[in-house]
Amino acid sequence: MKGIILAGGTATRLFPLTATTSKQLLPIYDRQMIFYPLNVLVKAGIRDILIIISPEHSGHFLNLLGSIFDKNNIRLEFKVQKTPRGLADAFIVGEDFIDNDNVTMILGDNIFEDDFSEDIKNFKSGGKVFAVKVPDPERSGVVVFNEQMKAVKIVEKPQKWLSDYIIPGLYIYDKRVIEVAKQLEPSNRGEIEITDLHNWYLERGELEVGLVKGKWLDAGTFDSLLEAGQYVKEKKISEKFDPIINQAIMEFNEELKALAKKKL
């Protein structure tokens, strides 16, 4: 299993904060946002991770993550995406990285309380995504369930109410995802929609939709960024990170302190 974190984009909703650095490098309580999706992948045993970033902030990611996991057998790769073409495009950008393996992609601004390690470790083929109940489903890809809570349809930003459940930013797919993404036609927005990718597998009876049980936060606005920090502090989520992540952050901090002392 390979891992991809999508951490590009301009994040205009968070201007002026994102005028100086990437959204995914903004703090969520006591650590940068990027560590939360990283933890999801590392906790699931994934050791090869591609981080897709925008060109203007590539140096910022390298300064933080370039060698932080060298001692832990976790290999991070970075790929610059100059022009975002939709979430599904990430699988095309990461084609050489994914190779013939299955892949888990997580959005760099999504924070989950749930532990998805078993879902990722036990995945064999097809696709698996997750659904979470929200008060404003019209802003996202909406999943419609039948009476047996089996997914029957996924619609991107429907104009009329269909369901209170949406698909958050965690997707597990087999190696076919690359070729499927290449076949997708851009939407009216000019993007390769992740919803079309989900439906390709759903129509073939190969998409499993699980339910998110704990808190899910999309830290893409000032309010949700603040809420995420408060929730992480209250529930001590960062203290429950994989030991590899916490150890790497601690060592990174100690190195910075040592360098600062030398300069005094």
Report pLDDT for 252.
Answer: 92
For residues 103 and 234, give the distance between their C-alpha atoms in angstroms, rounded to a whole number: 32
| In-domain check, residue 139 | no
Q: Which residues, 6 or more positions from 49, have their beta carbon under 8 angstroms from its beta carbon?
A: 2, 3, 4, 5, 38, 41, 42, 74, 75, 76, 77
**The whole model's pTM is what?**
0.96
Kindly report, residue by residue over 5-60, the tens digit of the pLDDT: 999 877 788 999 999 999 999 999 999 999 999 999 999 999 999 999 999 999 99
Report pLDDT for 174.
Answer: 98
Return the minimum-mean-pLDDT range out of 7-11, 182-186, 213-217: 7-11
Report pLDDT for 238.
Answer: 87
Residue recorded with tokens 């073939």 = 204
- The DSSP letter of residue 62 is H
| In-domain check, residue 157 | no
Report pLDDT for 256.
Answer: 87
Any idea what the CATH number is for the domain that residue 7 is in?
3.90.550.10
DSSP notation for 152-207 = EEEEES-SS---SEE--SEEEE-TTHHHHHHHPPP-TTSS--HHHHHHHHHHTT-E
Contact (Cβ atoms closer than 8 angstroms) between residue 24 and residue 228: no
DSSP notation for 19-43 = GTS-GGGSEETTEETTHHHHHHHHH
Residue 263 confidence class, pLDDT cut points 50, 70, 90: confident
Contact (Cβ atoms closer than 8 angstroms) between residue 181 and residue 87: no
| In-domain check, residue 259 | yes
| In-domain check, residue 234 | yes
For residues 31 and 38, give the distance between their C-alpha atoms in angstroms, rounded to a whole number: 12
For residues 264 and 256, give the distance between their C-alpha atoms in angstroms, rounded to a whole number: 13
Report pLDDT for 264.
Answer: 72
| In-domain check, residue 231 | yes
Nearest to 141 by CA among 215, 218, 204, 37: 218
Average pLDDT rounded to a whole number, residues 128-156: 95
Statement: residue 133 has pLDDT above 90? yes
75: left (phi over 0), alpha (psi -120 to 50) or beta: beta
Average pLDDT rounded to a whole number, residues 144-153: 95
Report pLDDT for 84.
Answer: 82
| In-domain check, residue 164 | no
Report pLDDT for 262.
Answer: 82
Give the gyration radius of the chain's Cα atoms.
18
| In-domain check, residue 180 | yes
Report pLDDT for 199.
Answer: 97
HSE-CB at 108 with a 13 A cutoff on CA atoms is 26
Q: Which helix (H) or strand (E) holds 236?
A: none
What domain count does the chain have?
1
- The DSSP letter of residue 224 is H
Q: Crossing angle of helices 243-263/35-43, nearest 10°?
A: 140
For residues 105 and 118, give the distance between their C-alpha atoms in angstroms, rounded to a whole number: 15
For residues 127 and 202, give the distance between their C-alpha atoms in angstroms, rounded to a whole number: 8
For residues 151 and 174, give the distance between their C-alpha atoms in angstroms, rounded to a whole number: 19
For residues 182 and 200, give the distance between their C-alpha atoms in angstroms, rounded to a whole number: 12
Kindly report, residue by residue over 81-118, the tens digit of the pLDDT: 988 889 999 999 999 999 999 999 999 999 999 999 99
- pLDDT top residue among 9 and 181: 181
Which residue range(s) make up the domain with 57? 2-125+169-206+215-263
| In-domain check, residue 160 | no
Statement: residue 215 has pLDDT above 90? yes
Statement: residue 244 has pLDDT above 90? yes
Residue 143 confidence class, pLDDT cut points 50, 70, 90: very high
Return the minimum-mean-pLDDT range out of 2-16, 92-106, 201-215, 229-243: 2-16
